[in-house]
């Protein structure tokens, strides 16, 4: 469900090789409650599964089994999916439907060699992921085999803060080379309505589902095949090196859907030169990727030139920011338009990656798509050490929190609003994407009275509050982002491991050296 609709009166661009349309938003956009209600009912079956999970790690196995049986019955009508990222919590995509990976009966200790191997390889990966992603270490509650027909294991754990690196953790770069292998999903086990930001004493339990490593079909349970992960087919070099194969029920859910991900950006006339370099870098590194551009105030001549670009898929808001949006959205410096655009495009295109027009692609971007499709979200952070230094207290209140108590005692860097990837549906749509768009429509949330760049970060602040919610705890992938030219290959024609650069409009290399195809 989107927060705006197309105006059919606008004409499509005549060339058949690409679609260029204009978008406008009706006054009904202010009735966001209707949108959210519609979305809730359309997706509530997906969410209902996570609402009834264990209320504590000490709950008896009998109650646990009963609860999971109830959840399994709710999945008698399976949720359709294309990627793991489409699925609700504690489910994965197999054969085009989301199925629970948590066992529903006979939850007993399993000490088979196959199970122990699965747990060992999973735990080795989990310890590093928890430390480098979240600054935590897993306290194991228990382990058990995954639900049939899936093969693999589930590690149930609590997150504990650590001040020192765990033993034998290795370096950050060695972790980059060995991650994303066996861990398929990490989801919260407990009632998703609980939030430790409001109740810090509330214990949280997480479930890590891992697929077992294999070399051939004979290493897998009956009915499973030994299949290489999608990352193996992604062009090198990228910072994902997944050599092991895993056991799966079919290949269809693990085949890469090539180039489903749509690239989205927006620009006004002042950023048009940067947009040209952005588009040229995209054409160089991903020549067949589709590009969607939002007009935030470009000239007619600039729009005319954009329509000629061969990779342009659609031009939205051709007449500028719709007049049906609240007046504060026209102030580009509060960035309300960005959250609205992201919500709109993910509902329309299903798989999107937003990158600010002032940025530059500097390497193969297929690994970004793989992460988005696996996890349902792609975010980065790290531009500051603690978001509370530059975030207005009224934004916290508008989102149901208090600044003084939110993540108290924890340094929480801002997430970047200008780099986001999402799929629809996903468990992050109702918990992050739509609430952020709703906040953007409310000036008291996105840009409270008295806010400025000296004390607030607008869309980044609202995004970060939502991303840090206990029920979300979004993973960041900042290792893909270069903050400066010195972090990139000396020759920009050669790929860099950091495949995006926040060049802030300062780079014109690709526009000068790569002819924009028309």
The dihedral over CA atoms of 181, 185, 186, 188, expressed in degrees to the nearest 10, equals: -170
pLDDT grade, residue 259 (50/70/90)? low
Domain ranges of the chain: 5-29+258-485+494-513, 53-256
Enter the tokens of residue 438: 């709703």
The whole-chain average pLDDT of the chain stands at: 80
Q: Token match 């980044």: residue?
A: 460
CB contact at 8 A, 43 and 430 = yes
Q: Which of the pair, 409 or 459, is modelled with greater confidence?
A: 459
459-467 helix and 336-349 helix, angle to the nearest 10 degrees:
60
CA nearest neighbour of 462 among 440, 430, 489: 440
CA nearest neighbour of 221 among 110, 77, 355: 110
Of 23-37, 51-65, 266-280, 461-475, minimum mean pLDDT range: 51-65
b/e 178-206 (16+ beta carbons within 10 angstroms → b): ebbbbbbbbbbbbbbeebbbeeeeeebbb
Looking at 3.40.50, 3.30.450, 3.90.550, 3.40.630, the CATH number of the domain 5-29+258-485+494-513 comes to 3.90.550
pLDDT at 247: 72
> Which pTM value belongs to this model?
0.79
Whether the per-residue pLDDT at 50 is higher than 50: the answer is no
Enter the tokens of residue 162: 């650590």
What is d(CA 416, CA 380) in angstroms, rounded to the nearest whole number? 6
pLDDT tens, residue by residue, 327-368: 999 999 999 999 999 999 999 999 999 999 999 999 999 889
Strand-pair category, 97-100 with 91-94: antiparallel
Enter the tokens of residue 316: 């939205």
pLDDT at 87: 93
What is d(CA 159, CA 138) in angstroms, rounded to the nearest whole number? 5
What is d(CA 230, CA 252) in angstroms, rounded to the nearest whole number? 11
Range of 144-148, 151-155, 462-466 with top mean pLDDT: 462-466
CB contact at 8 A, 470 and 197 = yes
Whether the per-residue pLDDT at 201 is higher than 80: the answer is no
Enter the tokens of residue 484: 């400066």
Enter the tokens of residue 161: 């803060």
Strand-pair category, 351-355 with 262-267: parallel
Q: Does an H or E element contain 209, and which?
A: strand 206-210
Over range 428-448, report the average pLDDT: 97
Q: What are phi and psi of 32, to 5 degrees?
A: -60, -30
pLDDT tens, residue by residue, 66-77: 333 333 334 334
What is d(CA 489, CA 497) in angstroms, rounded to the nearest whole number? 8
Q: Which of the pair, 63 or 441, is modelled with greater confidence?
A: 441
Tell me how far CA of residue 235 lies from CA of 134, 174, 243, 461, in angstroms. Answer: 29, 20, 14, 35
Whether the per-residue pLDDT at 443 is higher than 80: the answer is yes
pLDDT at 129: 93
Whether the per-residue pLDDT at 137 is higher than 70: the answer is yes
Q: Nearest-5° angle of CA 315, CA 320, CA 324?
A: 115
CB contact at 8 A, 456 and 395 = yes
């Amino acid at each position: 469900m989107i927060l705006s609709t197309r105006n059919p009166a606008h004409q499509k661009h005549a060339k058949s090789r690409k679609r260029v349309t204009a978008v406008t938003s009706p006054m009904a956009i202010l009735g966001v409650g209707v949108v959210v209600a519609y979305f809730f009912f359309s997706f509530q079956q997906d969410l209902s599964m996570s609402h009834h999970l264990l209320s504590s790690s000490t709950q008896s196995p009998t109650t646990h089994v009963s609860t999971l049986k109830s959840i399994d019955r709710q999945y008698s009508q399976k949720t359709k999916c294309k990627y793991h990222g489409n699925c609700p919590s504690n489910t994965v995509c197999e054969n085009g439907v989301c199925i629970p990976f948590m066992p529903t009966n006979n939850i007993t200790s399993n000490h088979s060699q196959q199970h122990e191997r699965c747990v060992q390889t999973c735990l080795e990966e989990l310890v590093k992921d928890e430390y480098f992603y979240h600054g935590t270490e897993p306290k194991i509650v228990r382990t058990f085999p995954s639900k049939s027909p899936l093969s693999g294991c589930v590690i149930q754990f609590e997150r504990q803060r650590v001040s020192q690196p765990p033993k034998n953790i290795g370096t950050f770069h060695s972790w980059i080379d060995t991650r994303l292998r066996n861990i398929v999903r990490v989801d919260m086990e407990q009632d998703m309505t609980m939030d430790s930001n409001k109740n810090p004493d509330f214990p949280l339990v997480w479930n890590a589902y891992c697929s077992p490593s294999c070399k051939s079909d004979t290493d897998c349970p009956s009915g499973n095949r030994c299949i290489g992960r999608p990352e193996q087919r992604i062009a090198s070099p990228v910072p994902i090196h997944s050599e092991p194969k895993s056991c799966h029920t079919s290949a269809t859910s693990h085949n890469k859907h090539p180039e489903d991900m749509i690239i989205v950006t927006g620009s006004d006339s002042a950023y048009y030169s940067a947009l040209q370099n952005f588009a040229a870098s995209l054409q160089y590194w991903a020549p067949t990727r589709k590009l969607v551009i939002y007009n935030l105030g470009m000239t007619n001549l600039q729009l005319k030139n954009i329509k000629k670009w061969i990779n342009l898929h659609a031009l939205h808001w051709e007449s500028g920011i719709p007049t049906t949006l609240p007046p504060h959205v026209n102030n580009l410096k509060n960035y309300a338009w960005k959250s609205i655009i992201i919500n709109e495009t993910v509902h329309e295109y299903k798989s999107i990656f937003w990158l600010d027009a002032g940025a530059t692609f500097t390497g193969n971007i297929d690994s970004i798509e793989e992460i988005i499709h696996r996890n349902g979200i792609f975010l980065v952070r790290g531009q500051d050490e603690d978001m509370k230094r530059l975030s207005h207290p009224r934004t916290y209140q508008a989102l149901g929190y208090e600044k003084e108590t939110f993540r108290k005692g924890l340094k929480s860097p801002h997430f970047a609003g200008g780099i986001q990837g999402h799929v629809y549906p996903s468990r992050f749509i109702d918990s992050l994407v739509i609430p952020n768009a709703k906040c953007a429509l409310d000036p008291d949330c996105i840009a409270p009275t008295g806010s400025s760049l000296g004390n607030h970060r607008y869309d980044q602040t609202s995004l970060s509050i939502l991303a840090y919610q206990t029920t979300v705890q979004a993973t960041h992938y900042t290792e893909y982002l270069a903050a400066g030219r010195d972090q990139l290959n000396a020759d920009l024609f050669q790929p860099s491991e950091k495949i995006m650069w926040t060049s802030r409009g300062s780079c014109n290399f690709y526009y000068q050296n790569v002819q924009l195809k028309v």
